[in-house]
Amino acid sequence: SSVRQPGRLVRFSRTPASPLKPPPGSETGIKAIIDRWSQVEQLDVNESFEESEASLPLKGLRVLDLTWVLAGPFATRMLADLGADVIRVQNEEHSTLVNRPDYPYYFVWGRGKRSATLDMKHPEALKTIRKLIENCDVLIENYSAGVLDAWGLDWETVKAWNPRLIYVSMSGCGHDGPWSHVISYAPTIHAICGITHLTNFADRGDVGPGFSLNDHLAGFAAATSTMAALLERDTSGLGQHIDMAQLEVGTYSIGPAALNYLSNDVAAQPNGNCDGLQDHVPNEVYRSLDGYVAITASNDDQWKSLCLLLESDLLEPLLSEKERQHHREEIDQVIADWVSGKDSVAVVELLQSLRIPAGMVQNAGDLVREDPQLSARGFWRDVEHPIFGKRVVDTFPSLINGVRPPTNLLSPSYLGEHNFEVWPELADMEMDEVAEGIGDGLFS
C-alpha cells in the first residue's frame, strides 16, 4: 500500500529531487538494498590534495552575506568557520540592536566575517553591489519573501550577472504559496510547524522550546544545501536558487510525527519528556539533590540492569516495553524516589557504568566551566576582542582529521570595518571613491 511521507528539506531550482523511495521492508535481501544504493548518482572526484593540519575545507569560497537575524547569520557563520570568505553587507541606519558589533549577539554570530556597509536605497547601490555579486560564489539572505526583489536583486536578475552563483533564500514560509508573505519570528515558526505543540506537557499548550531552535536548524539546512549546490556546480558549471522555507525545516524535523498521522491517522500529542514515537519507559528527567538527571531505558537489557540496581519488587515483573508503558507513573515514582536522595554526578556515573543512558541537565555555566568532555576536545577557546576584551567562545563542532578547524573567532569591531578592503578588492573602486561613498551615504 502507498504511504504519504514528508518531503525534502529545500527546493533547488536547477536540480529537482529524484522521487522519494520508501525504506526497504524487513524481508528485503541485502543485495536488493545495495542495488537501491547503486541507483544514486555519485560525483567523480579525481582531485588529489595534500592534507594539512591547518587546512580549511571552504578556503577560496566567497560568500555575500545579506542576512538579518539568527538563522541567516548562523548559516554564514558555519561557512566562515570552515574557511569561506564571508562578507556581511549591512546598512548602519537599519541595523537592529542585535546586528551591531557592540552587542554580544553580533560577537557570536559575526565572527570570522568581513563587514561592509551599503544603503540599498542609494541611487548607486544596485550598480555597486552588482560588482560584488559578480565576484562571489554564494549569496545568502533571510529576509521576508520579496524584499530582495524590491531591491532589484531577484534571482532571475542576479543569475544573469553571475550564472555560477548559488543564491540561498531563507524566508519564513518560502517564496510561493498563500503564506509566502507571512511575517515570522522564532515563536511564530515554532507554533505553525508543530514544534511548540510537541514540546509541551500533556496539560499545556503554551510551552515552547524556550530558545530559537528552528533558527539553528534552518542555519544548518542552509549551510548543508549550499555545499550540495556547490558540489553540483562542479559538474554543471552553473549556480542555482535554493528556496528554503523555515516552516518546512521545522516540519521536516518533526517528520516522524507527520508520518504517523499520514500513515495511521494518529496526531502525536504533547507528553513532556516522553518519546511520543518509541515511547520508552522510563524516559524522563528526575530531580536529584543538586539538580536534575535524564534517564532512559531504551531496551530490555538496560531495563533489567536498572531493575537490579533499584531492587524494587514493583519493577521486576515488568519485563516488556508494553508492560512498562501501562505502569509508567509507578515506574517514574520509584526512579524519582531513588534519584532524589543522590547527587547528579553520582547517579550519572553509576548508570553509565551499567550502560544505561543518563545525563545531567546542564546550563551554559556548567557547559563552560564544568563539562570535562567539551574541555578535553578543545571546544572552548580563549580570545581577546577589541570591544569585549578577554572572552571564552565556542568553536566549530567537529574535528577534521582530528583537528579543530583553525577558525577566526573574532567578529568585526564596527560596521563597515572592511569597507576599504571589500569595495576596492571586489567592486573595482579606488580608495577615494570609497571615502566619497562613505561621505554621501552610499556606504552607510
pLDDT band at 42 (very low <50, low <70, confident <90, very high): very low
Mean pLDDT (whole number) for 358-383:
94
Indicate the SS3 state at residue 368.
helix
pLDDT, residue 47, reads: 37
**62-253+416-439: in CATH 3.40.50.2300:** no
Q: Which residue has the higher pLDDT, 238 or 321?
A: 238
Cβ pair 424, 431 in contact under 8 A: yes
Q: Model confidence over 47-86: pLDDT tens digits? A: 333 333 457 899 999 999 999 889 999 999 999 999 999 9
Q: Model confidence over 225-267: pLDDT tens digits? A: 999 999 999 999 999 999 999 999 999 998 888 888 888 888 8
**C-alpha 35, offset from chain centre:** 32
Amino acid in the structure at residue 359? G
pLDDT, residue 277, reads: 60
pLDDT at 16 over 90: no
User: Nearest Cα to 7, choosing from 325, 317, 244, 277?
Assistant: 244
Q: Which residue has the higher pLDDT, 13 or 145?
A: 145
Q: What mean pLDDT is reported for the chain?
A: 87
Indicate the SS3 state at residue 294.
strand
How far apart, in whole angstroms, are the C-alpha atoms of residue 90 and residue 93?
Answer: 9
pTM of the model: 0.84
User: Nearest Cα to 416, choosing from 56, 72, 101?
Assistant: 101
**C-alpha 94, offset from chain centre:** 26
**DSSP-derived secondary structure letter, 98:** G
How far apart, in whole angstroms, are the C-alpha atoms of residue 368 and residue 279?
Answer: 32
Map out the domains of the chain as residue ranges.
62-253+416-439
Rg of the Cα atoms in the chain: 25
pLDDT band at 4 (very low <50, low <70, confident <90, very high): low
Q: Which residue has the higher pLDDT, 125 or 42?
A: 125
pLDDT, residue 278, reads: 61
Count of beta carbons in the 10 Å neighbourhood of residue 28 = 11
Mean pLDDT (whole number) for 218-230:
97
Q: Which residue has the higher pLDDT, 95 or 407?
A: 407
Nearby residues of 50 by Cβ (< 8 Å), 6 or more positions away: none
**DSSP-derived secondary structure letter, 123:** T
Q: Angle between the 419-427 and 431-439 helix axes, to the nearest 10 degrees?
A: 120
- Omega before 256 within 30 of 0, i.e. cis: no
